[in-house]
Amino acid sequence: MLHELLLALYGCPGSVIQQTQSGSLRLIDNLPFISPSEVPLINRLCQLGAHYIRFQDFIAERSSYLDSDKQTAGLYAKVFSDALDNCLETYRARLVDLESELIADPYLSLNYVQCRLEEFQLLFPALSDLLESIERSNARGTQLMEKIVHRMPCGLPSAQSAFDALLQRCNRLAYRQIGDWMLQGTLDDPYSEFFVRLVDQKQQQQEQQKKPTAAVPGAPNATTAAADTSSIIVSTGAQKAELQFSLLPAYLPLTLAQRILFVGEAVRCFGLNESRSSAFLAELERLFLPRLETLADASQFDLLALEEFVADVRSHVTEQLWRLLMEDYSLEQQLQAVKDFYLMGRGEFYLAFIDLAGPLLDKPPHRMLGQQLRACFERAARAVGLEDDQALKQFDVWFDDSQAAAAGAGGSASDADSWSRVGLKFKHGWPFHLLFNDDILARYCQVFRFLLTVKRVQLTLQRSWAAQMIAKRGCRNSRVNSAALSKLEPHFLQRSRMQHAVDNLVYYLQVDVIDSRFNALITAARTQRDVEQLQVSHDQFVTALTAQSFLHNRPVRACVTQLLHSCLEFAGLLRNSLDSQRVDLDSLLQRMTALGQDFHRQTWHLLGMLTGLQAQSTTYLNQLLLRLDFNRFFSTAKPAALIPLPPHLRQTDAT
């Protein structure tokens, strides 16, 4: 009977101990040579055989997954199965010893067998519970490691040592993949089981185009699908490195996984630079591979040691990548080019562009407008001697024909004129993708559109001043008689007030915001020696630009937009009244008076809102408020009293 029991324990039930439909093993009833008191004891031991049969079936199934198309196939399933089989080796050896002892001493009792196998009564149910959890959730890849940690028994030394062995084997494979990614920039992951994966960008774009999309302001013909919260993406070359949350073990912090992702991406950057890749990768292996092997051979997982290892590799790689950006690819020149063209540091170029593009953008848009704008862009470059400038060749003007672009450019949907849809595209190369991602470029484009609007208003006011001077000096080109000129005199003062406001707004944006923030960014780029910190500094730079340009504050943005619109229309009407004798001067003057009152009303509201923001410790507004309202002229006077109606219009209103 004991030999029948040993065979059943080894997974070979017979005629005395049979397997039920539920998979358990039971002794058949009414055996005359079995004492009733021994039946529960035998059935309890038979459960070990049932567990063993289930373990063997799991091992046989998962070990064959390398050549299978099943979702749970992969290297981790194979490693886990092999580790589980190693854990069962002790059980099989114990059965062999029991068989030898029973042959040597046929008088050994059933209680002796139970005593010898008692430790497995704790281990096998825990392992069976682990396998049930894996099968129920279809766990795969690094998810197996999370299941092992989650189901690890506490207070059972024998069971815990077996679980540690399972986790150590899976961790060794994970460490190997971490090493491949962080030290070589490659992934040996044929079954996509690691929490980092590489995705072909073209294929992903084709898949996104098949999905419903929404327009994204700030990028030419850009679309984005619904937000995917399951991955963080960094791109290099033709592939994207993607961090998948579903395969990230719970005991690995997200920040650690992000660092692993970033380090591997940085190493891939060096892999694309053939002149430096071989020496750099060899140095990485020499410095860090022995430490990684020590971590992989450890009997228990040490999170602190892994975090320290990743931090050391990250520090070394980011410093080398910083040297690559600063020394080999002239990061400072690239940032200066962005400042010159996205942030209008080359003002003479944009003066020429506004002059050339004005006749096109003042008309309703049409199909060929984008091509015509690119031609104006090239003509403006030739006009100021930038046709051979290498920095300018990285930029291209484009026209967004989507109606949603106007609302994202700083205006409302009703302000969707052609000027608000002009954008600038930055054709950056490797490795500047680490700094200039799609979100950063979209925010740069928002700032560019706002600055283009302000520059256009400033230029229009200056042109109206030139026409005013021609008229007042009585030049031949002036078509205004002395009577009309006297009627326009009050509005010349109004134009100077508008010019004062716009000029100080331009000075605030270019000097207090752009120049000061840009100098801080250049200082950070020179001193930080860390690409991740440089990314943070660049993101803070762009965020400060959008915030201090009031693009995130809807009330202030709307007020500034309306103020600029009033100035633009006023300057246009003033030029028309000075350049032509065939206009209805009285109606123009009445409209100009209304625009002047609206300007002062918006200025008064703007100063009130900016003062409120200043009270909230927004110190960057101090200089703007001082320049706009240095003598408290706008803030103390009531808007209606700032520009009274001219005498020749007061009688008309009275009647």
pLDDT tens, position by position, 290-303: 999 999 998 888 99
Stretch (H or E) spanning 27: strand 25-27
- Give the per-residue pLDDT at 84: 92
- Give the per-residue pLDDT at 305: 94
Q: What is the mean pLDDT of residues 306-316?
A: 93
If asked whether residues 195 and 257 sit together in one domain, one would say: yes
Q: Determine, yes or no, domain membership for 226.
A: no
If asked whether residues 518 and 563 sit together in one domain, one would say: yes
Show which of 306, 328, 350 is a domain's final residue: 328
φ/ψ (deg, to 5) at 200: -70, 125
Number of domains in the chain: 4
For residue 387, what are the CA distances in angstroms to 333, 357, 378, 618? 18, 17, 7, 41
Cα separation, 317 vs 286, whole angstroms: 14
Q: Determine, yes or no, domain membership for 368.
A: yes
Cα separation, 81 vs 50, whole angstroms: 18
If asked whether residues 373 and 318 sit together in one domain, one would say: no
Nearby residues of 162 by Cβ (< 8 Å), 6 or more positions away: 87, 123, 127
If asked whether residues 389 and 344 sit together in one domain, one would say: yes
Q: Determine, yes or no, domain membership for 5.
A: yes
pTM: 0.70
> Angle CA(622)–CA(625)–CA(626) in degrees, nearest 5?
80
- pLDDT bin (cut points 50, 70, 90) of residue 43 is confident
If asked whether residues 394 and 443 sit together in one domain, one would say: no
Name the most confidently modeled range: 232-241, 272-281, 359-368, 453-462.
453-462
φ/ψ (deg, to 5) at 501: -65, -45
DSSP line for 524-587: HHHH---HHHHHHHHHHHHHHHHHHTTSS-HHHHHHHHHHHHHHHHHHHHHHHHHH-SSS-HHH
Domain span including residue 6: 1-138
Q: Determine, yes or no, domain membership for 581.
A: yes
- Give the per-residue pLDDT at 519: 94
620: nearest Cα among 546, 567, 560: 546
If asked whether residues 568 and 622 sit together in one domain, one would say: yes
Q: Determine, yes or no, domain membership for 206.
A: no
Beta bridge mates, 197: 242
Question: Taking 50 as the threshold, does the pLDDT of residue 230 lie above it?
Answer: no
- Give the per-residue pLDDT at 584: 61
Query: Which has more pLDDT, 625 or 282?
Result: 282
Question: Taking 60 as the threshold, does the pLDDT of residue 605 lie above it?
Answer: yes
Q: Determine, yes or no, domain membership for 16.
A: yes
Tokens 């991955």 locate to 231
First-residue to last-residue Cα distance in the chain: 124
Q: What is the mean pLDDT of residues 572-601?
A: 73
| Whether residue 190 has a cis bond before it, omega within 30° of 0 | no
Show which of 85, 120, 138 is a domain's final residue: 138
Strand, helix or coil at 295?
helix
Token output for 373:
């704008």
Q: Determine, yes or no, domain membership for 212.
A: no
Question: Taking 60 as the threshold, does the pLDDT of residue 357 lie above it?
Answer: yes
If asked whether residues 385 and 268 sit together in one domain, one would say: no
The 10 Å Cβ neighbour count of residue 142 is 23
If asked whether residues 286 and 361 sit together in one domain, one would say: no
Token output for 170:
């899976």
- pLDDT bin (cut points 50, 70, 90) of residue 648 is very low
CA dihedral 106, 112, 114, 120 (to 10 degrees): -100
User: What is the CA 197 to chain-centroid distance, rounded?
Assistant: 16
If asked whether residues 346 and 457 sit together in one domain, one would say: no
- pLDDT bin (cut points 50, 70, 90) of residue 328 is confident
The answer to which of 220-229, 276-285, 402-411, 579-588 has the lowest mean pLDDT is 220-229
If asked whether residues 513 and 632 sit together in one domain, one would say: yes
Question: Taking 90 as the threshold, does the pLDDT of residue 8 lie above it?
Answer: no
If asked whether residues 604 and 539 sit together in one domain, one would say: yes
Cα separation, 384 vs 368, whole angstroms: 25
The answer to which of 408-412, 462-466, 505-509, 580-584 has the lowest mean pLDDT is 408-412
Q: Determine, yes or no, domain membership for 653.
A: no
If asked whether residues 286 and 389 sit together in one domain, one would say: no
Question: Taking 70 as the threshold, does the pLDDT of residue 221 lie above it?
Answer: no
Show which of 281, 296, 328 is a domain's final residue: 328
